[in-house]
Amino acid sequence: MENSRTNYALGVGSVIAVFVALLPNAAFGQPAPEPSPPEAAAAPSPNPGAAEAAPTPPPEPRMPPAPPAPPAPPAVPPQEIPLGTAPKGPVAPAFAPTIPNIDYGGRLRVGVRFQNPSSPNSLGDVAQTVSADLYASGQIQKMWKWLISITTDNYGGAAGNPSTVPLGLLDAMATFAPLPEIQLSVGRMLVMADRYSPSGPWGLDQWFYPGFYVGTPPAVPKGGPAGRDVGATLWGAPLGGHVKYYLGAYQLQDPTLAPLYSGRLQVSLLSQEPHWFHRTTYYGDRDLVSIGVGGQLQKNGSVMMMPPAMAGMMAPASLLDNYREVNVDLIVEKRLGDSGAISVEGAYYNFHGTYQPWNWSAVGSIAYNSPVLPGIGKLRPSFRFQQAQARQTTAAGDSLDPTRVYDAQLTYVVMHWFAHVMLTYRHYDTVFASPSMAAPMVAPAHTTGNMVVIGVQLWDP
């Protein structure tokens, strides 16, 4: 009976103790602590002595909390390219490059020309030219590459041009490149012969491509439209691009023609030029001394087309002779510290073949590239002189006067070749008699003219 009362009193006391423990927390709005699990020793043991003698097991070791992950570095915003400069190296792709891959872009030239077509020495009329390319290139496997491009082929600026814009294939070439020193390209491509061929109009300093004069055939190495032809080119860039060579056979689309063989060897000192394309100026970004020699050969490649046959008569055969051409060129670009850079270039061409329109031609230019001007970019004044000697003579055997062309230009360089604006003044004095006609009794009159061109070039870098 006493034991029952004792147990009853202990039970009531336990309830009161729990109530008292909870009451202060509830009164002050604090959550009550969760009751601890009963200890193992509180459980009744069949052998109390053994339980008391057993040592208490040590608590399980707790692993220290893992350190917090370091914060991610802040995203670096793309750096704006300052005016007058170009990206340093290739533009980073939006995603990791893989193979196969594809790169694509476009380029555009728009020029406004001031010249009166009925009075070429006057600037009293206006015309516009548009030239645009779309291109894509890629790599299928480590050693296999490709390039495709289309062009408007310098649309506009001549009498009778419609408002529609024609498109044509410019490049379509596949390249096998086991080594940088040995590469083989096949398809429709540039005919490599001189310094200006791998540059094209897009990588030039001047607005006008050299060797093209008003009312005459071009005084440049042989090639098809836009300097392209169907063929194959073995080329490479030993010593990291300090040496570069091209050796190709072209005009293979017509089996009745003998192949046009064309080649070039180039040595670039101070800076490397390892790619298929290159520039004629680097706008003061590097020092360069480039020396090149090139040549062409084609059996029966010097042709004079005869006038069409009269009614009831057979057409006369074209007159043929072997064609040869050799050329040399030199480009020097030197940085002047904080004072900008200076560029000098020159090239000479010699043509062989009875029916070639020119004996020789030459070009020379000088340019100064200013340092970056705050908020403006760079300014580049330049001057270029060209001269060519026609092959045909008068009936008395006298040589014609040489053709001369002068170009003075100021370029506002926003981003090198990729974005710039040009103001060009050109004066030309052309003397030429058609080689398909009999030698004139006297030298033809000079054709002179003046023109001013304002042009803009934009190019996806």
Query: What does pLDDT average to over the chain?
Result: 86
Task: Kindly state the percentage of the chain with pLDDT values over 90.
Answer: 65
CA distances from 130 to 167, 241, 404 (A): 12, 34, 26
Residue 78 has pLDDT above 70, yes or no: no
Q: What is the mean pLDDT of residues 193-214?
A: 94
254-258 long-range contacts, CB within 8 A, separation 24+: 257/298, 258/298, 258/299, 258/300, 258/301
Q: How does pLDDT run across 226-258, given as a tens digit for each residue?
A: 999 999 999 999 999 999 999 999 999 999 999
Mean pLDDT in residue range 405-424: 97
Q: Cα(117)–Cα(447) distance, rounded to whole angstroms? A: 12
Q: How far is Cα 383 from Cα 394, in angstroms, rounded to an integer? A: 33
Residue predicted with more confidence, 57 or 263: 263
CB 101 within 8 A of CB 139: yes
* Lowest-confidence region among 37-46, 85-94, 210-219: 37-46
Say if CB 129 and CB 108 are below 8 A apart.
no
| pLDDT of the residue at 93 | 67
Q: Is 15 left (phi over 0), alpha (psi -120 to 50) or beta?
A: alpha
Is 56 a residue whose pLDDT tops 90?
Answer: no
Higher pLDDT, 34 or 259: 259
- Find the range with the poorest average confidence among 2-16, 265-279, 328-342: 2-16
**Which of 361, 365, 351 has the alpha carbon at shortest distance from 387?**
361
| Spatial CA neighbour of 155 closest among 185, 127, 126, 184 | 127
**What is the distance between the alpha carbons of residues 197 and 211, in angstroms, rounded to a whole number?**
12
At residue 142, what are phi and psi to the nearest 5 degrees? -50, -35
Per the DSSP assignment, residues forming a β-bridge with 404 are 387, 429
Least Cα distance to 334 among 345, 323, 326 occurs for 345
Mean pLDDT value of segment 427-447:
88
Identify the weakest region by mean pLDDT among 58-67, 164-173, 380-389: 58-67
Quick one: pLDDT band at residue 277, thresholds 50, 70, 90?
very high
Q: Within 13 A of 191's CA, how many CA atoms are on the CB side?
A: 22
Q: β-strands 260-269, 319-335: how paired?
A: unpaired
Residue 203 pLDDT > 70: yes
At 26, is the secondary structure helix, strand, or coil? helix
Name the nearest CA neighbour of 198 among 230, 149, 246.
Answer: 246
Tokens of residue 226, six digits: 């836009």
Task: Check whether 33 has a pLDDT greater than 70.
Answer: no
Residue 330: name the closest of 295, 286, 362 by CA: 362
Q: Are 285 and 271 in contact (CB under 8 A)?
A: no
The pLDDT value given to residue 67: 74
> Can you give the pLDDT at residue 41?
43
Full DSSP string of 381-444: EEEEEEEEEES-B-TT-PBPPPEEEEEEEEEEEEEGGGEEEEEEEEEEEE----TTSPPPSSPP
* pTM given for the model: 0.81
The pair of three-digit structure tokens given for residue 286, joined into one six-digit string: 């590097």
457: pLDDT strictly greater than 70? yes
C-alpha 444, offset from chain centre = 43
How many whole angstroms separate alpha carbon 45 and alpha carbon 50?
Answer: 9
Q: Which residue has the higher pLDDT, 94 or 283?
A: 283
Query: pLDDT exceeding 70 applies to what percent of the chain?
Result: 82
- pLDDT over threshold 90, residue 77: no
Residue 373: pLDDT above 60?
Answer: yes
Beta-carbon contacts of residue 24 (< 8 Å; ≥ 6 apart): 30
**Residue that has been written with the tokens 């040496």 in this structure:** 243
CB 227 within 8 A of CB 265: no
pLDDT at 98 over 90: no
Pairing state between β 126-141 and 144-151: antiparallel
pLDDT digits (tens, 9 = 90+) for 293-326: 999 999 999 998 777 766 667 777 888 999 999 9
Q: Token pair of 88, please?
A: 């340093």
Across the range 110-136, mean pLDDT stands at 94
Tell me what the mean pLDDT of segment 323-348 comes to: 97
Please say if the pLDDT value at position 14 is more than 60.
no
If one counts every other C-beta atom within 10 angstroms of the C-beta of residue 10, the result is 9
Contact 354, 321 (CB under 8 A): yes
**What's the pLDDT score for residue 55?**
60
Kindly report the backbone phi and psi dihedral angles of residue 41, in degrees, each rounded to the nearest multiple of 5, phi listed first.
-70, -20
Mean pLDDT of 357-367: 97
Contacts of 253 (CB under 8 A, 6+ apart): 229, 230
- 70 — pLDDT class (breaks 50, 70, 90): confident
The rounded Cα 85 to chain-centroid distance in angstroms is 15
